Amino acid sequence: MAQFTSDPVRTRQRIAELDEYMSRSVFGAGGFVCRSSASCGSAAAKKAADFYEGQLSHVGLHYDLFEDGVPLRVLVLGMEMGRPDRHISLETRRLQQDEAIGMRFGARHAHMLGTTSALRAAFGRGLGDDRAGELLPLANHPVPQHVMQCYALVNKRLCSAVRPVDSAKGRRFQAAQVPAMDRACLPHLAATIRILEPTMVILQSKALRSLIAPHLKHVERIDPANEQLEYAEFAGVATAIANFSHPAAHAPYNWGSSHRNVYAMDVVEPTLETARSFLLG
């Protein structure tokens, strides 16, 4: 059986480094200071969307994870928070994840349900809806830790542009596509990657691969038969990159609908198993 250990001291250092960068460049104790604020807000308005600024990342307290001594730092990358919330600090974002951790698997919304499945696969736990499969026993900690305390959740945009809508799914808000915001946030994403140094990045949107392309170098397929999985330098950090749809995408790509979803079983899980084999040897 694999042995997991973590380095919470190193993780706290990374969180402090990320907080220092975000406070200086995006949002922190001094307020929202991003230089692109006015231009992004204007671009969102042109799309008839409201602009919600300063939505930072989640970094689990056991992010610096090792499996049998090999680093396994997992970062899930989404497009944006997509909610009408302003000024979400790193600490607030972590507490929001605690809310998801406290829910049973089936009670989570599609994004978090899919993220749970991805993390289970990334840590070799297999897909499922059982609580035990979400817990990682750590050799350096007396209590098993939830997989959501062992990863980072980062969004391509650190602000959201959303419109109020009525839909069959009952969502009250819908994210708007604002290319100017994508371009403005690229430097912040690169800085985040350099600070967190992930060894595995899981993309949760088909659009993300092209959006992060300016920061990718030396890209190669890990498995020639699997176009979902690459190894590259991402903002100077060597990492495996798994490219999936958003968990709440339209069928049949809605792998956040159930752990028995075909895309989850036939694409997500085997791709992450291959990534694990590549990284862990």
Contact in structure between 53 and 159 (CB atoms under 8 Å): yes
Query: What's the pTM value of the predicted model, to 2 decimals?
Result: 0.96
pLDDT tens string, the chain, 281 residues long: the values are 789 999 999 999 999 999 999 999 999 999 999 999 999 999 999 999 999 999 999 999 999 999 999 999 999 999 999 888 999 999 999 999 999 999 999 999 999 999 999 999 999 999 999 999 999 999 999 999 999 999 999 999 999 999 877 666 555 778 888 999 999 999 999 999 999 999 999 999 999 999 999 999 999 999 999 999 999 999 999 999 999 999 999 999 999 999 999 999 999 999 999 999 999 99
φ, ψ (nearest 5 deg) of residue 25: -115, -20
Sketch the domain layout of the chain as residue ranges: 4-280
Phi, psi of 156, deg, nearest 5: -60, -40
Instruction: State the Cα angle at 216 between 179 and 40, rounded to 5°.
Output: 20
Burial grade of 54 (CB within 10 A; 0-12, 13-18, 19 or more): buried
